[in-house]
């Protein structure tokens, strides 16, 4: 049974404006919060900085096609959010390719909007238990609400710092390298400028955690990357 108070966050990736508008009109009710991307690169940026319950991904997109986007969602972003592919390509080998790229469901156009809605709800029911609260020592993080809790005190993160914090939570107790974090957030073609950008986001993340929880939580492993440290465990920075 689905929760009536939880609003599902959907990312719709579709370049046909009329279809996108129909989807928004049909799904844009109280149960759903919708974001829209008209191309794959916009979708990847949104997925690197936001958290969604289900991704609805068109295959025939300008620039990078849906197969490649789906592969990058899984491999580059390490994002396990369920993906529904929608396309006019209905042959078995097209579907096989979609599933090999990491898709969870496949809907051939034209389709009834109600069927898409049923599939979205079914995928969410199937996968939502996997998005449980993450624990790292005494630190709790909810990927759905982006809320961090430490010793009963809570702070809500946003944007790229929230994505970085989730990656550090999932890596705990190990560290995450500069390269792994940059690739997860910006893709596999990171440039030197993105190393500096990563430092800026880490600074912003620490500042938000310090202001909200009284502790920055993110420890620098000099020359290697970052990891989480819990003050309640007595973990301190090493020289």
**Are 35 and 12 contacting, i.e. CB atoms less than 8 angstroms apart?**
yes
- Give residue limits of the domains in the chain: 8-129, 134-233
Bridge partners, 84 (sequence order): 56, 105
For 46-56, write each residue's pLDDT tens digit: 888 788 889 99
Mean pLDDT of 159-171: 89
Q: Do domains 8-129 and 134-233 have the same CATH topology?
A: no
Gap between the Cα atoms of 51 and 54, Å rounded: 9
Bridge partners, 147 (sequence order): 142, 156
Taking 50 as the threshold, does the pLDDT of residue 2 lie above it?
A: no
For 49-82, write each residue's pLDDT tens digit: 788 889 999 999 988 899 999 999 988 887 888 9
Place of tokens 């989730």: 166
For 115-158, write each residue's pLDDT tens digit: 999 999 998 888 765 557 888 888 989 887 889 999 889 999 98
Mean pLDDT of 10-23: 91
- 6 confidence band (pLDDT: 50, 70, 90): low
Helix ranges (DSSP H) in the chain:
17-27, 40-49, 66-75, 92-100, 113-127, 159-171, 178-186, 192-213
Query: Measured in whole angstroms, how far is the alpha carbon of residue 218 from the centre of its chain?
Result: 20
Taking 50 as the threshold, does the pLDDT of residue 236 lie above it?
A: no
- pLDDT for the residue numbered 232: 58
Percent of the chain, pLDDT > 70? 87
Mean pLDDT of 13-37: 86
Mean per-residue pLDDT over the chain, rounded: 85
Considering the segment(s) 8-129 as one domain, its CATH architecture is 3-Layer(aba) Sandwich (3.40)
Taking 70 as the threshold, does the pLDDT of residue 29 lie above it?
A: no
Taking 90 as the threshold, does the pLDDT of residue 37 lie above it?
A: yes
**Measured between alpha carbons, how far is residue 164 from residues 55, 72, 175 in Å?**
20, 17, 12
Gap between the Cα atoms of 201 and 176, Å rounded: 14
| 3-class DSSP state of 135 | strand
- pLDDT for the residue numbered 193: 56
Place of tokens 């849906």: 66
**Measured between alpha carbons, how far is residue 184 from residues 56, 80, 137, 171 in Å?**
21, 13, 23, 12
- pLDDT for the residue numbered 4: 38
Taking 50 as the threshold, does the pLDDT of residue 194 lie above it?
A: yes
- 5 confidence band (pLDDT: 50, 70, 90): very low
Domain 134-233 matching CATH 1.10.510.10: the answer reads no
Gap between the Cα atoms of 202 and 189, Å rounded: 20
- pLDDT for the residue numbered 130: 55
pTM above threshold 0.75:
no
- pLDDT for the residue numbered 191: 56
């Amino acid at each position: 049974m689905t929760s009536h108070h939880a609003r599902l966050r959907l990312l719709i990736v579709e370049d046909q404006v009329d279809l996108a508008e129909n989807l928004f009109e049909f799904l844009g009710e109280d149960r759903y919060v919708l974001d829209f991307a008209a191309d794959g690169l916009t979708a990847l940026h949104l997925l690197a900085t936001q958290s969604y319950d289900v991704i609805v991904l068109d295959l025939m997109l300008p620039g990078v096609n849906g197969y490649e986007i789906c592969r990058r969602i899984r491999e580059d972003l390490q994002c396990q959010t369920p993906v529904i592919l929608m396309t006019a390509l209905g042959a078995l080998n097209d579907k096989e390719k979609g599933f090999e790229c990491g898709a969870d469901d496949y809907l051939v156009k034209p389709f009834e909007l109600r069927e898409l809605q049923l599939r979205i709800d079914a995928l969410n029911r199937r996968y939502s238990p996997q998005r449980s609260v993450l624990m790292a020592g005494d630190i709790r993080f909810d990927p759905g609400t982006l809320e961090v809790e430490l010793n009963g005190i809570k702070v809500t993160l946003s944007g790229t710092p929230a994505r970085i914090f989730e990656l550090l939570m999932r890596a705990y107790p190990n560290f995450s390298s500069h390269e792994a974090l940059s690739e997860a957030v910006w893709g596999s073609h990171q440039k030197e400028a993105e190393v500096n950008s990563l430092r800026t986001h880490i600074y912003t993340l620490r500042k938000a955690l310090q202001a909200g929880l009284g502790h920055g939580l993110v420890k620098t492993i000099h020359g290697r990357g970052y990891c989480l440290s819990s003050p309640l465990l007595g973990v301190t920075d090493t020289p």
